[in-house]
Amino acid sequence: MQPPGEIEDADSWSFYHEMLRHAQLSHAVGIAAEWRVADHIAAGVSDLDALSSVVGCDREGLARLLRVLESARIVARCKRGRYELTARGALLHSDADGGVRNTMTWWSHYRWPVWTHLATSLRTGRGSRARALGFEGFDQLDADGEAAAAFNGAMAELARQLGKRLSSAYDFAGVKTIVDVGGGDGTVLSALLTAQPGVRGVLVDLPHAVAAARSKLSAQGVADRCDALPGDFFDSVPARGDLYILQRVLHDWDDERCVAICSKCREAMPEHARLLVIERVLPSRIDHCDDHLDVTISDLNVLVMLGARERSEHEIRAILAKASLQCSTTIELLLGFRAIVAATSPKAPGGDIRMQQKARSIGSDCKGAAF
């Protein structure tokens, strides 16, 4: 092995330079997202003077930001100094299908200040949100409407992709009622109800999410088949569902409270029901791939934000077992996410076997940054 002083590896050096560049770029794009620059350009406010006026920014400062966006192929400068959105930039529009505006806003404005305390969280094993923002856990979302809107919007942007994938990967035969526990703004449940027109839904979450869920369910045309209920899954979960979903819930909590959440689901589940636990799953061995980088970064993220953690499939199965639930199969979704299927009975039904065969044909082929 060469001594450190003699190593000359241009590719490795470029890796670190690119990493620093993209860290700064993500913050710049986050500001553009927060200021709705893409929305304004799409609405025809496309010259520098008009844009700086509508966003309330120094003209020269905005010009410098737009140069970065142009270099990143997010906007293009046209004749007479006007700007237009590229295909990449269109994803920053508020109404874009598969868009990322809320995600970029949440990361830049609300999450990045907490990440500056990562070293403290690593040393203590505790979250740093209170240190950075003055709020523990999710209390910020109850106190700050703009933060709640950004958070729910960011979660919905990823949930939309998960919902699409799940609707084609899971066998819904025999499912009449889906209960989405901690279902956020209803994006996943809306996608599932749209794909399964004969199915009803129940969503339960904290009040800040339920208001957004009712609006989303109505906009998607499924409100007549779905109840959105305020509630706390530590207290109770709606009963008599056929399929229960815990989507990105367990990684927010320690093992004891995860067992408590799953136990509440188990109490509500009829014997024939199934529970889907959808989480990013830590691999047993780290490979050099985007999915593994996504999930390991996500593990740091839930640490610094909540003092929580991502888990391996073995660890999730152990939590389910303590809640008297047994796993029948696992579906790979995207970005390192899996749906782990659990039942009250150790015997897996034929539907789970069909679903497992279906899942092998779906695979995981979508790459992206950790949320």
pLDDT digits 0-9 by tens, 71-116: 999 999 997 889 999 999 999 999 888 889 999 999 888 889 999 9
Least confident of 13-27, 30-44, 126-140, 231-245: 126-140
Per-residue model confidence as pLDDT tens digits over 284-342: 899 988 888 989 999 999 999 988 999 999 999 999 999 999 998 899 888 788 999 99
- Could you tell me which residue, 119 or 4, shows the higher pLDDT? 119
Whether the per-residue pLDDT at 255 is higher than 70: the answer is yes
Q: Residue 80 sits in a domain of what CATH number? A: 1.10.10.10
User: pLDDT at position 154, please?
Assistant: 84
The pLDDT of residue 358 is: 43
Residue 45 falls inside a structural domain: yes
In this predicted structure, which of 49-63, 148-162, 347-361 has the lowest mean pLDDT?
347-361
Q: What's the average model confidence in pLDDT over 15-29?
A: 92
Helices (H) then strands (E): counts for the chain: 17, 10
Cite the DSSP H helix spans in 35-75: 37-42, 48-55, 59-71
Which pair of tokens denotes residue 9? 């590896």
Domain stops at, among 93, 118, 134: 93
CB 236 within 8 A of CB 182: no
How, if at all, do strands 200-205 and 243-247 pair? unpaired
Q: 351 and 276 in one domain?
A: yes
Token pair recorded at residue 37 = 């620059």
Tell whether 207 and 284 lie within a shared domain.
yes
- The residues annotated with a catalytic role in the active site are 251
Instruction: Indicate whether 127 belongs to any domain.
Output: no
**Would 262 be classed as within a structural domain?**
yes
With respect to residue 98, please indicate whether it lies within any of the assigned structural domains: no
Per-residue pLDDT band at 163 (split at 50, 70, 90) = confident
Check which CATH number belongs to the domain holding 278 and give it.
3.40.50.150
Eight-state DSSP code of residue 126: S
Tell me whether residue 47 is in a domain: yes
* H or E segment and range at residue 57: none
Do 208 and 346 have their domain in common?
Answer: yes
Strands 243-247 and 83-85: unpaired
Residues 284 and 197 placed together within one structural domain of the fold: yes
Binning pLDDT at 50, 70 and 90, where does residue 50 land? very high
pLDDT attached to residue 3: 56
The verdict on 89 and 184 lying in the same domain is: no
Judgement on whether residues 200 and 307 belong to the same structural domain of the protein: yes
Specify whether 161 is located in the same domain as 54: no
The residue out of 93, 115, 146 marking a domain boundary is: 93
Residue 80 burial (CB < 10 Å; 0-12/13-18/19+)?
exposed
* Number of folded domains that form the chain: 2
| Mean pLDDT, range 212-221, rounded to an integer | 89
Judgement on whether residues 85 and 163 belong to the same structural domain of the protein: no
pLDDT attached to residue 345: 62
Is 367's pLDDT higher than 70?
no
Answer yes or no: do 68 and 198 share one domain: no
Three-state secondary-structure class, residue 249: coil
Mean local confidence (pLDDT), 273-287: 93
Q: Are 38 and 186 members of one domain?
A: no
pLDDT band at 184 (very low <50, low <70, confident <90, very high): confident
Over range 265-293, report the average pLDDT.
92
**Domain range for 35:** 11-93
Q: Is residue 241 part of a domain?
A: yes
Q: What is the pTM of this model?
A: 0.78
- CA 193 to chain CA centroid, nearest Å: 19
Backbone angles phi, psi at 264, to 5 degrees: -65, -40
Query: Which of 93, 109, 143 finishes a domain?
Result: 93
Residue 367 is assigned to a structural domain of this protein:
no
CA angle 136, 279, 339 (to 5 degrees): 150
Greater confidence, 152 or 303? 303
Let me know if residue 331 belongs to a domain.
Answer: yes
Are 237 and 331 in the same domain? yes
Per-residue pLDDT band for 11 (boundaries 50, 70, 90) equals confident
